[in-house]
Amino acid sequence: MKNDLDLSVRIGSLIMPNPVGVASGTFGYGEEYDELVHIDALGALYTKAVTLEPREGNPPPRLVETPMGLINSIGLANPGVEKFLREKLPSLRTRLCPIIVNVAGSTEDDYIQVIERIEAHLASTDSGRPGIDGYEINVSCPNVHKGGMSFGIDPRLVERLTHSLRQKTSRPLIIKLSPNVTDIAEIARAAEAGGADAISCINTIVGMVIDTEKMKPAIAMGTGGLSGPAIRPIGVAATYKVSKAVRIPIIGLGGITNASDAIQYLLAGALAVQVGTALFSYPQAPLKVLDGIIEWMQRHSVHSVSDIRFMLR
């Protein structure tokens, strides 16, 4: 029975009620999905990126479908940290599921200032639930001209940035890694050495579509980030490799559309997963994935979801 199962997972000091969250950039800050999915039943809500200053994002067109996937070049469009605190945080405080704020920046100081401003705001307000349970640090976004890629491909910069942010918060710190590197395990080890509580593995893969009639890229910026089912085998392999390199938990994502996809990540070494692109066509996908994980655990007599990562033969 479901009640006999332990679905909880621990990331640093945070205990998530179940392993299935929604990926940053696919779920906004939650309001857009209020009428479509039972948000409080999620394992975690990973917010859209928050940057120091407001960003309008990249020029359109910013999305193009591909076989078994989607390329996006949104450019981290968001209202900036101050407007996030004024306009988005009050709603997040009403959620019962854990809230992980995704943070992005173009310089190390950008990241630091975002964390500092959020932490100062939380310390100055007494409204019961803080509305923020941890941070996911985006060092890997492939569709901005500076910052993300340069941080995400250099282990020394990843370790230094993680260490700097570790000094600014006691909340769980999750480093989201890029697959667009020579050795993702090396970057993961650097994040762990810097004090990360967990690794998100993986972000999108650089891709391109060309309109052969117009003879120009289908995305205004030329290239963008490929997500969706096409990248799932890459994400699973990266998760498996990283799981052999670090001791901290791994959150697997990339192309998860059903329970079998998610369980592949869990068997590869992930403790939790995120559902992203599947939300655009089926908003209930995360909870359907969770139901499928429960059914799989019952069928295989697995009591704790945390044990699945040790079961690969």
Give per-residue pLDDT as tens, 74-98.
Answer: 999 999 999 999 999 999 999 999 9
Length of the chain: 313
Please list the ranges in the chain whose pLDDT falls under 70. 1-3, 127, 141-150
Residue reference for tokens 């890629």 = 149
> What letter represents residue 182's amino acid?
T
Note whether 292 and 262 are within 8 A (CB): yes
Residue 158 neighbours by CB under 8 Å, 6+ apart: 139, 151, 152, 175, 187, 190, 191, 194
> What letter represents residue 261's amino acid?
D
Catalytic machinery residues? 141
174/134 Cα distance (integer angstroms): 8
39/43 Cα distance (integer angstroms): 9
52/201 Cα distance (integer angstroms): 24
Note whether 209 and 71 are within 8 A (CB): yes
pLDDT score of 151: 81
